[in-house]
Structure 1
Amino acid sequence: MRVPEGGGARHDPGVSDAAETNQQGTERLSGTERRERLRERRIRASRGARRTLGRAVAQRTLRERLALLEHAAEVYDLDEPADMYGDGVVESLEAKVAGLLGKEAAAFFPTGTMAQQVTLRCWAGRTQNPAVALHALAHPEVHERNALSQVSGLRPVRVTSEPRQPTADEVRGLDEPFGALMLELPLRDAGFVLPSFEELTEVTEAAREREAVVHFDGARLWESTVHFGRPLDEIADLADSVYVSFYKSLDGYGGAAVAGPQTLVDELKAWRHRYGGTVFQQFPTALSALVGLERELPRLPDYVRHARVIAEALREGFAAAGLPWARVHPEVPHTNEFQLWLPHDADTVAEAAVRHAEETGTLLFSRPWAAPGPGLAVTEIDVRAAGLEWSAANVRTAVAEFAERLAEQVSA
Structure 2
Amino acid sequence: MSDKAERGEEPSERERLPERRAAAHREARHVLARPGMRASIRERLELLREAGPQVYDLDEPADMYGDRIVAALEDRVAALLGTEAAAFFPTGTMAQQVALRCWAARTGNPSVALHPLSHPEVHERHALSQVSGLRPVHVTTATRLPTAEEIRALAEPFGTLMLELPLRDAGFVLPAWDELTEVVAAARERDAVVHFDGARLWESTVHFDRSLDEIAGLADSVYVSFYKSLDGLSGAALAGSTTLVEDAKVWRHRYGGTLFQQFPAALSALVGLERELPRLPEYVRHARVVAGALREGFAANGLPWASVHPEEPHTHQFQVWLPYEPDVAAEAAVRQAEETSVALFAGRWQSGGPGLAMTEVTVGAAGLEWTAQDVREAVAEFTARLPEKS
- Which of 1 and 2 has higher RCO (CA within 8 Å, sep 6+)? 1
1:62 equivalent to 2:62? Answer no
Query: Which residue pairs with 2:28 in the alignment?
Result: 49
Q: Is contact 1:225–1:232 with CA below 8 Å preserved after alignment?
A: yes
- Tell me, in whole angstroms, the C-alpha distance in 2 between the residues paired with 1:248 and 1:315: 26
Count of residues in correspondence between the two structures = 381
Match of residue 306, structure 1, among 263, 283, 286: 286
- Tell me, in whole angstroms, the C-alpha distance in 1 between the residues paired with 2:179 and 2:58: 44
- CA deviation digits over 1:2-58, x for unaligned, max 9? xxxxxxxxxxxxxxxxxxxxxxxxxx988xx54431000000101111111123433
Worse-superposed segment, 46-55 or 109-118: 46-55
Query: Which residue pairs with 2:327 in the alignment?
Result: 347
Please tell me the residue identity of whatever aligns with 1:36.
E
Q: Could you say what secondary structure the match of 2:94 adopts?
A: helix
- CA deviation digits over 1:165-215, x for unaligned, max 9? 100000111101100000000000000000011000000000000000000
1:322 equivalent to 2:302? Answer yes
Match of residue 15, structure 2, among 32, 36, 49: 36
Please tell me the residue identity of whatever aligns with 1:185.
L
- Tell me, in whole angstroms, the C-alpha distance in 2 between the residues paired with 1:214 and 1:338: 26
- Tell me, in whole angstroms, the C-alpha distance in 1 between the residues paired with 2:201 and 2:91: 16
Query: Which residue pairs with 1:369 in the alignment?
Result: 349
Please tell me the residue identity of whatever aligns with 2:21.
R
Please tell me the residue identity of whatever aligns with 1:279.
L
Q: Could you say what secondary structure the match of 1:54 adopts?
A: coil
Query: Which residue pairs with 2:71 in the alignment?
Result: 91
Q: Is contact 1:56–1:366 with CA below 8 Å preserved after alignment?
A: no
- For residue 304 of structure 1, report the CA deviation from its aligned partner: 0.2
- For residue 66 of structure 1, report the CA deviation from its aligned partner: 1.8
Computed over aligned residues only, the root mean square deviation of the Cα atoms, in angstroms, reads 1.3
- Tell me, in whole angstroms, the C-alpha distance in 1 between the residues paired with 2:175 and 2:15: 36
- CA deviation digits over 1:305-359, x for unaligned, max 9? 0000000000011111111111000000000000000011110010011001000
- CA deviation digits over 1:106-153, x for unaligned, max 9? 000000000000000000000000000000100000000000000000
Q: Is contact 2:37–2:231 with CA below 8 Å preserved after alignment?
A: no
Worse-superposed segment, 61-70 or 240-249: 61-70
Query: Which residue pairs with 1:22 in the alignment?
Result: none
Query: Which residue pairs with 2:95 in the alignment?
Result: 115
- TM-score normalised to the size of structure 1? 0.91
Match of residue 57, structure 2, among 69, 73, 77: 77
- For residue 68 of structure 1, report the CA deviation from its aligned partner: 2.4
- TM-score normalised to the size of structure 2? 0.96
Q: Could you say what secondary structure the match of 1:193 adopts?
A: coil
- Tell me, in whole angstroms, the C-alpha distance in 2 between the residues paired with 1:35 and 1:182: 38
- For residue 62 of structure 1, report the CA deviation from its aligned partner: 1.5
Query: Which residue pairs with 2:313 in the alignment?
Result: 333
Query: Which residue pairs with 1:169 in the alignment?
Result: 149
1:150 equivalent to 2:130? Answer yes
Q: Is contact 2:35–2:231 with CA below 8 Å preserved after alignment?
A: no
1:226 equivalent to 2:173? Answer no
- Tell me, in whole angstroms, the C-alpha distance in 2 between the residues paired with 1:245 and 1:131: 24
Worse-superposed segment, 62-71 or 326-335: 62-71
Q: Is contact 1:321–1:400 with CA below 8 Å preserved after alignment?
A: yes
Match of residue 165, structure 2, among 167, 171, 185: 185
Q: Is contact 1:54–1:364 with CA below 8 Å preserved after alignment?
A: no
Q: Could you say what secondary structure the match of 1:371 adopts?
A: strand
Q: Could you say what secondary structure the match of 1:182 adopts?
A: strand
Q: Is contact 2:37–2:233 with CA below 8 Å preserved after alignment?
A: no
Q: Is contact 1:130–1:153 with CA below 8 Å preserved after alignment?
A: yes
Q: Is contact 1:53–1:364 with CA below 8 Å preserved after alignment?
A: yes
Match of residue 275, structure 2, among 295, 300, 317: 295
Q: Is contact 1:215–1:241 with CA below 8 Å preserved after alignment?
A: yes
- CA deviation digits over 1:200-259, x for unaligned, max 9? 000000000000000000000000000000000000010000000000000000100010
Please tell me the residue identity of whatever aligns with 1:401.
E
Query: Which residue pairs with 1:209 in the alignment?
Result: 189
